Amino acid sequence: MSASDEVFILGINMTKFGKHFDKDVVDLGAEAIMAALADGGVTMADMGIFAAGNLLGSGGIGQQLQKQVGQTGIPVFNVSNACATGATALRTAIMAIKAGECDMGLAVGVEKLAGAGLLAGGDRAADGDSWTPQGRYGAVGPIDGRVGTATMPGVFAQIGMEYGHRYGGVDFELFARISEKNHSHSTLNPLAAYTKAMSLEQIMGDMMIAYPNTRPMCSANCDGAAAAVVVSGAKLKTLSLEQQRRAVKVSASILTSDPYEEACQVLPNVNTLTRNAARQAYEASGVGPDDLDLVELHDCFATAELVHYDNLMLCEEGGAADFFNSGATWRTGSTPVNVSGGLQSKGHPISATGIANIWEVCHHLRGEAGPRQIEGAKVGLAHVIGLGSACGVHVLEKSAA
């Protein structure tokens, strides 16, 4: 089989995000897989590769899911890459198709995260009155959790405040207004974990988690799964006209990690690898920021959304506050961001998020997003970042069929 220059998303789906006490990761993953296969009009027997993402489980989720959806002997890749796990699983399937190993593949991300509480880096159980650096991580980050914080709300609070310190124009109210936007968008998304609008006063007056992020400004830990079927351009031409019409072109699939830089090793740099991924994605797709009709970015916290306006080059460098204040990121704006409600409302079952963000963009490009539809959407970008660090960026385009 020859390599395919083009790859399309043929079928994609996600479960409702939220609390699923009656379902385990296999139940949720299988539900998303079967829905994605049905959406694409294909079966498990058509798949040539399967990549399964799960972060907090015991491993081997791909094989466990196969027992539910069909064991066909194909290669299975079990993926774990922080919050970029789902996007990495999808990229694994895309690379196999581009390499000519198969003409159709499946990716899924699934997580049970409801009630997980704060997700922190490092092992704090061993804390005592004194602490001695030990092991590889003790050598490279001896004061992590001692200066600053090892919890995600604190890390991203620092990242947002650093941006404000560097460029100005940023305050508590601006971050809260970003959250207000996302909670407003969520009211039109029936699959979001939370679909309740919140006023600026409610958001600013809620429990402070890590200044300037109050509780509604933080991503919601929840359960969920999302899955996608990808197909080569050559194979797609052999399928029905309806399948071709609904297929979404993957114009760029990029994954980056931290480059070497002489910098502070305590505060993670989510900016550089995101900007590098965005630059590569625009170059690979021939699409620029001004061409985007919508963006789903990784707003794990309101502070993160602001800095990623800049990192994805949606605005000029240092101009994220002015960009948001212009109204561009609302559904009615020039560059709608997180029309799904974002992670703050839609929820963040870690391994599912990367594919769920892509599902939202695909929904609009197909014209199937219902009341939240961005009219005439032809090009979209999905972004996800996981500390460790990994950044996935996908540029997606409406089918020309």
Q: Where do the structural domains in the chain lie, given as residue ranges?
A: 7-115+221-398
Rounded CA-CA distance 79/124 in Å is: 26
pLDDT at 129: 56
pLDDT at 121: 45
Return the minimum-mean-pLDDT range out of 155-169, 303-317, 353-367.
155-169
Share of the chain above pLDDT 70, in %: 89
pLDDT (average), residues 69-77? 97
pLDDT at 140 over 80: no
Rounded CA-CA distance 259/280 in Å is: 14
pLDDT at 1 over 90: no
pLDDT band at 369; cut points 50, 70, 90: very high
pLDDT at 337 over 80: yes
pLDDT at 3 over 90: no
pLDDT at 114: 85
* CA atoms within a 13 Å half-sphere pointing along the CA-CB vector of 3: 6
pLDDT at 142: 42
Q: What are 173-209's pLDDT values in tens digits?
A: 999 999 999 999 999 999 999 999 999 999 999 999 9
Helices (H) and strands (E) in the chain, counts: 14, 11
Terminal CA-CA length for the chain: 24
* CA atoms within a 13 Å half-sphere pointing along the CA-CB vector of 280: 17
Q: Please give the structure tokens belonging to residue 173.
A: 């109210």
pLDDT at 156 over 50: yes
pLDDT (average), residues 109-134? 63
**108 sits in which H/E element:** strand 104-111
pLDDT at 17: 98
How many residues are present in the chain? 401
Return the minimum-mean-pLDDT range out of 118-122, 279-283, 379-383.
118-122
Rounded CA-CA distance 35/182 in Å is: 26
Beta strands in 121-211 (DSSP E): 208-210
Beta strands in 197-332 (DSSP E): 208-210, 213-214, 224-232, 248-257, 294-296
Instruction: Look at 151 and 212; give whichever has higher pLDDT.
Output: 212
pLDDT at 276: 98
The whole-chain average pLDDT of the chain stands at: 91
Backbone angles phi, psi at 28, to 5 degrees: -65, -45
Closest-CA residue to 365 (of 282, 244, 243, 247): 247
pLDDT at 9: 98
Rounded CA-CA distance 125/287 in Å is: 47
Q: Please give the structure tokens belonging to residue 391.
A: 């950044």
Cut 0.85: pTM above it: yes
pLDDT at 144 over 90: no
Listed in sequence order, the residues at least 6 apart from 348 whose beta carbon sits closer than 8 Å to its beta carbon are 83, 113, 219, 220, 221, 222, 300
pLDDT at 58 over 80: no
pLDDT (average), residues 385-401? 93
pLDDT (average), residues 77-94? 97
The DSSP result for 365-390, as a single string, is HTT--GGG--TT--EEEEEEEETTTE
pLDDT at 251: 98
Return the minimum-mean-pLDDT range out of 149-163, 238-252, 341-355, 379-393.
149-163
pLDDT at 265 over 50: yes
Determine the CATH number of domain 7-115+221-398. Answer: 3.40.47.10
Distance of CA 148 to the CA centre of its chain: 26
Burial 60-95 (b: 16+ CB within 10 A, else e): ebbebbbeebbeeebebbbbbbbbbbbbbbbbbbbb
Return the minimum-mean-pLDDT range out of 107-121, 288-302, 355-369, 380-394.
107-121
Q: What are 273-311's pLDDT values in tens digits?
A: 999 999 999 999 999 999 999 999 999 999 999 999 999
pLDDT at 2 over 60: no
User: What interhelical angle do 302-311 and 152-167 show, nearest 10?
Assistant: 50
Listed in sequence order, the residues at least 6 apart from 306 whose beta carbon sits closer than 8 Å to its beta carbon are 160, 163, 170, 174, 175, 178, 320, 321, 324
pLDDT band at 262; cut points 50, 70, 90: confident
pLDDT at 141: 45
